[in-house]
Every structure is written in structure tokens, then in C-alpha cells.
């Protein structure tokens, strides 16, 4: 087996205990100096949001309170994303903005972590060019934050810990969740797929899965604590358990979770189409607690481009899986990711992408302009597509998808759907916002005590990306 294929190493109880000791040491240091406030900024995907909840949990144990803004913080941690160039630029520019805060308060500590901070080259670049950043740690080092922070504080020097190729699964560290009724639960970390455009396998390390018993215990305690929605996270949840020794694959894990007692919904993301099985679809169809929603990124509708992306499925095999899903679950809400302007994408290839949108009839598509990532094979490919062509193709894709999304949403008008109320809408404060089982946003008039409850909502109006409705009392 190569490094990427070995079973995950689990952090030992002694290693975890050591981190708790460091948390206590930091707490002792802070207790001399009055209340301390931390500000955690998160970019990127759900995995990063879940990681930030672990960072916040550890910081809380170390005695940090939550700052309401960067300006009042004594510690700032920026959790970065590297999947596209503009995410990296934004993280660096916001961090640049903290320079003046440090001038005003020299004791302020600034740390950078996440995907961008994982590559040794980037870590050295930050060391040279961003002197106001005190510490950097890669995704593989996250569980050692207490130790890192303790050393930064006591040695009064800048410390840099990019990934070093030793990813572990660390259980039992504290988590501070954003929501009392919706939770992320990581079931695996890393990725072994090496899609040619993607930086993730280089910054999140090889695939490693948590033990089923740990995931089940976490889910059980969440549901007992009133959690209504659990989203299982992994770069490719379908390869969950591949290198484990107890034969529990993803379909089996879902089965075990779906029979836990309590009123809750299970979601998962992301699935790689090459590994999503019919058995998984059957499990989804069989258990009411598994939301009938599937995020199945196709990336392109052209077989030629899919091969160049190293996706290892074809348009036909993908569409046949979608047909099977719709047979078993006619109301399934299907979403996808698309990359526009992959190197060498011709007009004909792009037409194939538009036609797969028409055939798969997605409820929602997350579309991205191809972004060159240093160190990935696609960055070296000839025929990089000019930005104006990418932009023009993106506009056509958005227009088509918006039509399809509206066609999918209009028939929901008049229906009563079960909606998990999330609280006041961020876009219009007089409205309440919630999500259907298919994860579609619904706006309705609500009361604060509805937050975190499942409600029957009759849909009264539909737009491509939003539904409106009224609670059926």
C-alpha cells in the first residue's frame, strides 16, 4: 500500500490528553490577564466550517470568549480555502487588513490555518511576506492547536506547521457548534482522487475515515441534545471505510445512523459519481430519516473533458445513476457542481455540459470558473481558456440553469412541505427562513419560538432559488 492508501492512524489517548494539558496551560496563562476574546474567520466549504467549530471549541476550553468583531479580539484565527484563486486572495487581503489592529494592540496574535496554510511553500511565503502573522498550521495539525498556541505564547516567536504527511484521526477534542439544531459531522477527511484541477488532495492529505462507533456516538448525543439535522461530511463520502477493517462502508454507516431514535434528518456531502452505488440509493430510499436530496457533482457533460479531469465516469454512467435515483425516489432533489472553462474545453464540450443540465434537470447547480491551481496537472495543460470565453459560457449556463430551477420549483406551489425553521432570514429580517427536506430555502412569516422546529409550510410562490410559503397552523 502507498502512503495515501494506508488505514488512518488514530491519535492515541495519550496524545489527546497532552492537548488537554496544553489547553489547561493556556487557560492558566490567560487567567492572569483578565478576559480574552477570539475571532475565528472561515472561508470555503462545509468541512472548513466544521473545522472552525473545532477550533472554537478548543479556544473556549483554553479560556477564550467569543469576540463580536475582529477589532476587539486578542486572538484572530483565519481558516482559509485554496480551492480557487480568489478564495486565497480574499483570505490574504482580509488578513492584511488586520495589520493595523496589531499596530494598535501589539499583544494581538494572528494565526492562519486551513487548506491554504497547509502547503509548505505557502507557509514559507507567509513567513517571509506577512510578518504580522504569528502562526500557521495546516489541516493535518488542527488537532494540535492547543500545543501550537501554547508555544507561540510562551516562546514569543512565530511558528509554522504546514502539513507534514502524517494525517491522523483525532477523537474527543471539544467542539463549539454554531447551531443547536443543525450539525456538521465529519465522517472522513482527505481525498485520494486527484481530479486534475483540484488542490484538495495536496492540502488535506490522504483519505482517512473515523470509526463507525465514534460517528454513531456523536450523532446519538447530538440528537439527544435536540439536534434536528445532521450533515455527514467528507470530500468523497462514498469511499468512507474503504481502508477500515470492519466492513462498514458508507451505505452501511447510513443504515446504522438512520435507525437511531429521534426526530431528525440526515444529509451527506459530497459524493463522487464514480463511487456512488445503487445500494446507497436503495438505502436512501428505504429510510425516512435520510433526506431525499443528493449532491452529485458532474463537473462537465463532455466525456473528453471528464477524462482529462480524471473523473473516471462517463456522461452515460452518470445519467444512468441519476435515472435509477429518480426511479427509486421520484421527488429527489438533485444538485451538482460544474466547472466552466477547464483547459481545452471546446464549444462542443460546453454544449455537452448544457445538455447534461437539461437531461439531469438539477434543482440547483454550483458553477465555478476554472481556476488554475499550481501543482495540479490541469495547471500545466495547454489550451487554457481565456477569461472572456469562460465568462460568456458561465452566463449561458446560469441562464439555462435558472430556467430549469424555476421549472422544478413551480410545481411545488400549493404543496405543503416539512420545513426546518432556521430563524430570521438574513436577507429580509421580517421574514423567517427554513429549509425543505430537499434543502431548498423557504421564506415565511414565523415566530422566534419556531426556530429549530419542523413545520408544515404551504408553498405560495416560487422563484429559481427561493420558495415562499405560509405555516399551516
CB of 453: closest distance to ligand SF4 in angstroms?
A: 34
CB of 235: closest distance to ligand 5AD in angstroms?
A: 9
Sign of CA dihedral 373, 377, 380, 382: negative
Per CB under 6 A, contacts with ligand SF4 among 22-61 are none
Q: At what angle do helices 347-360 and 315-328 cross, to 10 degrees?
A: 10
Give 42 or 371: the residue with its C-beta nearer to ligand 5AD. 371
CB of 300: closest distance to ligand 5AD in angstroms?
A: 10
Which entry of ligand 5AD, ligand SF4, none binds 362, CB below 5 to 8 A by partner kind?
A: none
Q: Minimal CA–CA distance to 187: which of 366, 8, 2, 4?
A: 8
Which entry of ligand 5AD, ligand SF4, none binds 201, CB below 5 to 8 A by partner kind?
A: ligand SF4
Which entry of ligand 5AD, ligand SF4, none binds 113, CB below 5 to 8 A by partner kind?
A: none
Segment contacting ligand SF4 by CB under 6 A, of 157-165, 187-195, 219-227, 415-423: 187-195
DSSP secondary structure, 163-211, as one string: --S--EE--S-----S-SSEEEEE-EE------TT--HHHHS-S-EE--
Task: Using CB under 6 A, list all residues that contact ligand 5AD.
Answer: 83-84, 197-198, 297, 299, 337, 339, 368, 370-371, 373
- Give CA–CA dist 128/236, Å, rounded: 35
The answer to whether residue 434 forms part of the interface with ligand SF4 (CB under 6 A) is no
Segment contacting ligand SF4 by CB under 6 A, of 23-31, 126-134, 141-149, 186-194: 186-194
The answer to whether residue 235 forms part of the interface with ligand SF4 (CB under 6 A) is yes
The answer to whether residue 186 forms part of the interface with ligand SF4 (CB under 6 A) is no
Question: What number of residues does the chain have?
Answer: 473
The answer to whether residue 339 forms part of the interface with ligand SF4 (CB under 6 A) is no
Distance of CA 238 to the CA centre of its chain: 15
- Strands 416-424, 454-462: parallel, antiparallel or unpaired by DSSP? antiparallel
- Give CA–CA dist 145/77, Å, rounded: 11
Distance of CA 183 to the CA centre of its chain: 12
CB of 242: closest distance to ligand SF4 in angstroms?
A: 13
Per CB under 6 A, contacts with ligand SF4 among 189-208 are 191, 193-195, 198, 200-201
CB of 337: closest distance to ligand 5AD in angstroms?
A: 3
Which entry of ligand SF4, ligand 5AD, none binds 236, CB below 5 to 8 A by partner kind?
A: ligand SF4
The answer to whether residue 272 forms part of the interface with ligand SF4 (CB under 6 A) is yes
- Give CA–CA dist 373/187, Å, rounded: 27
Q: How many CA atoms lie within 13 A of 13 on its CB side?
A: 0
Give 26 or 333: the residue with its C-beta nearer to ligand 5AD. 333
Helix (H, G, I), strand (E, B) or coil at 76: strand
Grid coordinates representing 437 are 427536506
Query: 3-state SS string over 281-298?
Result: HHHHHHCCCECCEEECCC
Cβ-based neighbours of 146, under 8 Å, separated by 6 or more: 19, 20, 22, 23, 26, 58, 61, 62
357 near 301, Cβ under 8 Å?
Answer: yes
Which entry of ligand 5AD, ligand SF4, none binds 339, CB below 5 to 8 A by partner kind?
A: ligand 5AD
Give 195 or 356: the residue with its C-beta nearer to ligand SF4. 195
Which entry of ligand 5AD, ligand SF4, none binds 373, CB below 5 to 8 A by partner kind?
A: ligand 5AD
Which entry of ligand 5AD, ligand SF4, none binds 193, CB below 5 to 8 A by partner kind?
A: ligand SF4
Contact footprint for ligand SF4 (CB under 6 A): 191, 193-195, 198, 200-201, 235-236, 272
Amino acid at each position: 500500500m502507498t502512503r495515501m492508501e494506508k488505514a488512518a492512524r488514530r491519535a492515541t489517548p495519550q496524545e489527546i490528553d497532552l492537548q488537554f494539558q496544553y489547553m489547561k496551560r493556556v487557560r492558566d496563562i490567560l487567567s492572569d490577564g483578565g478576559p480574552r476574546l477570539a475571532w475565528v474567520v472561515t472561508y470555503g466549504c462545509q468541512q472548513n466550517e466544521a473545522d472552525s467549530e473545532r477550533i472554537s471549541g478548543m479556544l473556549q476550553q483554553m479560556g477564550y470568549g467569543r469576540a463580536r468583531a475582529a477589532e476587539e479580539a486578542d486572538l484572530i484565527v483565519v481558516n482559509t480555502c485554496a480551492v480557487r484563486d480568489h478564495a486565497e486572495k480574499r483570505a490574504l487581503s482580509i488578513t492584511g487588513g488586520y495589520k493595523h489592529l496589531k499596530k494598535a494592540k501589539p499583544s494581538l496574535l494572528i494565526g492562519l490555518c486551513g487548506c491554504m496554510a497547509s502547503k509548505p511553500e505557502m507557509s514559507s511565503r507567509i513567513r517571509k511576506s506577512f510578518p504580522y502573522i504569528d502562526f500557521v498550521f495546516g489541516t493535518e495539525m488542527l488537532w494540535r492547536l492547543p500545543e501550537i498556541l501554547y508555544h507561540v505564547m510562551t516562546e514569543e516567536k512565530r511558528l509554522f506547521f504546514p502539513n507534514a504527511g502524517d494525517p491522523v484521526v483525532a477523537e474527543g477534542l471539544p467542539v463549539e457548534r454554531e447551531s443547536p439544531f443543525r450539525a456538521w459531522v465529519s465522517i472522513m477527511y482527505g481525498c485520494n482522487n486527484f481530479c486534475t484541477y483540484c488542490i484538495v488532495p495536496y492540502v488535506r492529505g490522504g483519505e482517512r475515515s473515523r470509526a463507525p462507533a465514534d460517528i454513531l456516538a456523536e450523532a446519538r448525543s447530538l440528537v439527544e441534545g435536540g439536534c434536528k439535522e445532521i450533515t455527514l461530511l467528507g470530500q468523497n463520502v462514498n469511499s468512507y471505510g474503504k481502508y477500515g477493517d470492519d466492513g462498514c462502508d458508507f451505505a452501511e454507516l447510513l443504515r446504522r445512523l438512520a435507525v437511531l431514535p429521534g426526530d431528525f434528518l440526515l444529509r451527506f456531502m459530497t459524493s463522487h459519481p464514480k463511487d456512488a452505488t445503487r445500494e446507497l440509493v436503495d438505502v436512501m430510499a428505504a429510510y425516512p430519516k435520510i433526506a431525499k436530496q443528493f449532491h452529485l457533482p458532474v463537473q462537465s457533460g463532455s466525456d473528453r473533458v471528464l477524462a482529462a479531469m480524471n473523473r473516471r465516469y462517463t456522461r452515460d454512467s452518470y445519467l444512468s445513476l441519476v435515472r435509477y435515483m429518480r426511479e427509486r425516489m421520484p421527488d429527489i432533489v438533485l444538485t451538482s457542481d460544474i466547472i466552466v472553462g477547464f483547459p481545452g474545453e471546446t464549444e462542443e464540450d460546453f454544449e455537452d455540459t448544457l445538455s447534461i443540465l437539461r437531461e439531469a434537470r438539477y434543482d440547483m447547480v454550483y458553477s465555478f470558473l476554472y481556476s488554475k491551481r499550481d501543482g495540479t496537472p490541469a495547471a500545466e495543460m495547454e489550451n487554457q481558456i481565456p477569461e472572456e470565453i469562460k465568462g460568456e459560457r458561465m452566463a449561458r449556463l446560469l441562464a439555462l440553469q435558472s430556467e430549469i430551477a424555476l421549472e422544478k420549483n413551480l410545481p411545488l406551489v400549493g404543496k405543503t412541505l416539512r420545513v426546518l425553521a432556521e430563524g430570521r432570514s438574513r436577507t429580509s429580517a421580517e421574514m423567517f427562513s427554513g429549509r425543505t427536506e430537499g434543502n431548498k430555502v423557504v421564506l415565511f412569516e414565523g415566530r422566534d419560538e419556531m426556530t429549530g422546529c419542523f413545520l408544515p409550510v404551504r408553498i405560495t410562490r416560487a422563484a429559481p432559488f427561493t420558495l415562499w410559503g405560509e405555516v399551516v397552523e
